Structure 1
Amino acid sequence: MHRTTPTARTPGRRTYLLAVAGLAVVIAAITWVVCSWSPESSTASTASAHMSRQGHHGPPGAADGVVPDGVTVFDDTTPAVTRLDPDLLKALRRAATAAADDGLAFHVNSGWRSPSYQNRLLREAVAKYGSEDEAARWVATAETSPHVSGDAVDLGRSAATAWLSEHGAEHGLCQIYENEPWHYELRPEATDHGCPRRYADPTQDPRTRQ
């Protein structure tokens, strides 16, 4: 009986099939890379990095005017102190030097503040007091606050503010608001004429009505 020998698969056809398979793998890899580096993902990553560099997240810190515990008017590193008006800071340090003879130190609870920090405090005051009108008795806007301009300081502790209420005018330092015995500003004329009459609260201050 005559036996027919099967036809062998030629090397050319096998090479062709391998090339097609390889090309498919390359195309899949390119597709994955393109999708991974799409303009949308690149833009999002860039924006995220920019926000991180600009500090547009998280609570305010020392750079915004937050004051760590224990800071006095003699601190030379905390922005809340160093960014105060130079004349105000000099007056505070002169007064603090005099008060030291009575064993007192002028601690800074708040001084200069960034506009964003001031606005945050105002939002918190609205939430605490229940209305913008009531909050305005305690916190001014960033546009009108003397803290933002570096012209006001909130001092502690009670013994220090009591000392200032008696001797502050001698150094040109005056309590401005009846409801804020810790809030002091520079009034140079007070050394000769005494401190001006206090406002009941910030809403009575013409500067806050701008």
Structure 2
Amino acid sequence: MSDNQPVPAINSLFEDLMHPNPRIQEEACLILAEHYHEEAMPKLLDLFSHHDPKVYRAAVKGIGFFGSSAFNPLIELYGTTENQTARRCCPKAFVQLFKNFPDQPFPDSVMEMLEQGIDDTDMVVVQGALMCLGQIGKQEFKSEEAIRLLARSLSSENVALIFSASQALADIPNPMAEDALQTLQENNDDPLIQEAAQSALARLQNLLNSRS
């Protein structure tokens, strides 16, 4: 949008948010965050409960442009909503926030929510929390704390959780991540876990080699 164009109405922007063209979607997100910050955020959070995946995924993408002001509302929604779709959307929204604002510090309450998330009974929530921790592990703030939480997940009895956590660690170019994966490989006889550890270690070593 150029400087001379009027700001579109908020209802028009929410229509654009549902547009199949990702560039139109992103433009709507940016304008909502810049010009309708206080009005748009609760509307987007309400859409997390929508039955249509296209709608709640667009809302998650939209919240990702609101920066640190979205942290506490997302944490509150995660802790209070009875709608499972909305709970699933909260960690996914944090993934978007961390991607869009990689240099922005965030409070300990975010890490506490993610720690609860990886212990959730809903594997979609768990996967979202692990994705967040993987994203944080690659950033400056709380990287080591994120790696420790992912490493703790490797001792789970849930093979799917171990596999997802190991894949998240494989994308973090940090010796702590490598140590955690080596420990997983050395301390397990389960062939599935062995395979997951070897695959993750190979990916991580390729990543480290490409950066050296």
Q: State the TM-score, normalizing by the size of structure 1.
A: 0.23
Query: Larger relative contact order (C-alpha < 8 A, sep ≥ 6)?
Result: 1
Of structures 1 and 2, the larger Rg is shown by: 1
